[in-house]
Structure 1
């Protein structure tokens, strides 16, 4: 098992168990599963989020409750065995310095197949240069101290690797306001480097970048910060995330996720095409000469 596979294994089990539960009709709640296990709903939630693997007895109780056939049972059990044998993941070395919500987000990002991001006046994190990142963080979080900022930057740079990794790079659909191209974060030379980085990333086959122009009005002025993660199982509704300022809120209620998908779709309709967006970015880059 490679390091990347190991990082995805535990959360992958949780996502699969959740998808199997949600496929049952009438739908089973986490509370009903907890009752069958003789455990708390909090434990079922923790397992579905990938925070804890079920025991063999627990997983068989769950799979029997879900009515899955023997082939699926064997496959899930094999998946859990692989997760138990997982090696350490790259973020282990930083884990003491990170809020638990961010660790969970990193785990989810690592197992996601697609990430949809909409930002207002900031460049989406997968495309940020180190200079841009440092200037943004030092403005917003300068009081946390130099050591913690160094850790945050290192983690952010490592998180970006999900886009360019050789094995299963994540698909990224990104929307950003024209304001993100015009605000001179770090000065003109730094912004030229930043805009050119976005253009470079937009050329990757797994990346789509579209700009919401100033002409779109309120959609371009919005300070939206929206991320939706999708996973391999087609029955998985995905999760949405929201930056709370002190951590990350992870929303896995299907209604919450659908509401944010509608928001993303609305912003998509206000954005330029990919080709038009690259043209606008090239124009912005020349202004920083």
Structure 2
């Protein structure tokens, strides 16, 4: 499910509508592939929003004809194809952003809400400049000062989605207490980072909870970092796009979309939230720890 170009959400919406149209007509991938003189895999990739490349309007119109879409629906599909081919702001950072993160930033930008768990460090959306630079100097030791600055500017651009006036993204985040105790840079940097988290958690669209050491393992096993991305609903109450779970790993990232996978992570999130301190107690712990580090 890696889309390396264009705008992520329109491409995924288009793929879903085309898949639904094919299913409603009772046609298989093979049958439509023959009609379009395409391989089965090409049509499957379009339906799953996999791969980049321009979606030709003539092809979209022909699929709409096969699926018996009316003129209004066909126009909407063509409009989605046009939007999916537009270059978005994060593509200007292609020099310092790997393809998998490119995909994630596209999803993140389109999301209406994020459910985050980090057992290791503060996620990029909430990192201060000093905390981010301290991490980048270690993780990208061969980067020039200019490249490191570009990485920082990318973070700043991403963080604007939390503070924008029009429909800021809603964030429900749980951090393990170890995040507060793991030194990144200096104690002064950590103190500033924790104060920033506490201040940001006062926003109406942001909830920050801390999972304390004494909570143990709420689901009976360690859980790595993940983000559940939801995309809201349209005027008819349908999901704009399926939920995606982003699972970050040292050797590669995963994007999970199957209902059985999203259910597992939603259940884990519920258990973790239940075991975490509430928002007020978490803010108090952040401020106390920041004060200890500054002493």
Scaled by the length of structure 2, what TM-score is found?
A: 0.79
**Does residue 263 of structure 1 match 2:268?**
yes
Q: Which residue of 1 aligns with 2:45?
A: 45
Question: More deviation in 161-170 or 189-198?
Answer: 161-170
- Given that 1:12 and 1:50 are in contact with CA atoms closer than 8 Å, whether structure 2 keeps it comes out as no
Q: Sort the Cα spacing of 1:99 and 1:31 in 2 relative to 1 into closer, same or farther, 3 A.
A: farther
Q: Which has the larger radius of gyration?
A: 2
Q: Sort the Cα spacing of 1:244 and 1:182 in 2 relative to 1 into closer, same or farther, 3 A.
A: closer
Query: What CA deviation, in whole Å up to 9, does each residue of 1:49-68 have, x standing for no partner?
Result: 58344222322344456565
Scaled by the length of structure 1, what TM-score is found?
A: 0.81
Q: Which residue of 1 aligns with 2:211?
A: 212
Q: Sort the Cα spacing of 1:255 and 1:121 in 2 relative to 1 into closer, same or farther, 3 A.
A: same
Q: Which residue of 2 aligns with 1:145?
A: 143
Q: How does 1:141-220 map to 2 (within 5 A)?
A: 141-146=139-144, 148-219=147-218
Q: Which residue of 1 aligns with 2:286?
A: 281
CA-atom RMSD in angstroms: 3.2
Q: Which residue of 2 aligns with 1:5?
A: none
**Unaligned regions of 5+ residues in structure 2, if any?**
none
More helix by share: 1
Question: More deviation in 247-256 or 29-38?
Answer: 29-38
Q: Which residue of 2 aligns with 1:232?
A: 232
**Does residue 75 of structure 1 match 2:76?**
yes
1:230 CA displacement? 1.2
CA distance in 1, matches of 2:79, 2:140: 46
Q: Sort the Cα spacing of 1:23 and 1:98 in 2 relative to 1 into closer, same or farther, 3 A.
A: same
Q: Sort the Cα spacing of 1:72 and 1:120 in 2 relative to 1 into closer, same or farther, 3 A.
A: same
CA distance in 1, matches of 2:190, 2:278: 22
CA distance in 2, matches of 1:28, 1:271: 48
Secondary structure of 1:54's counterpart equals coil
* 1:17 equivalent among 14, 18, 39: 14
**Does residue 102 of structure 1 match 2:101?**
yes
Secondary structure of 1:118's counterpart equals strand
- Given that 1:175 and 1:210 are in contact with CA atoms closer than 8 Å, whether structure 2 keeps it comes out as yes
Query: What CA deviation, in whole Å up to 9, does each residue of 1:172-197 have, x standing for no partner?
Result: 11111111112232222111110111
Q: Sort the Cα spacing of 1:29 and 1:12 in 2 relative to 1 into closer, same or farther, 3 A.
A: farther
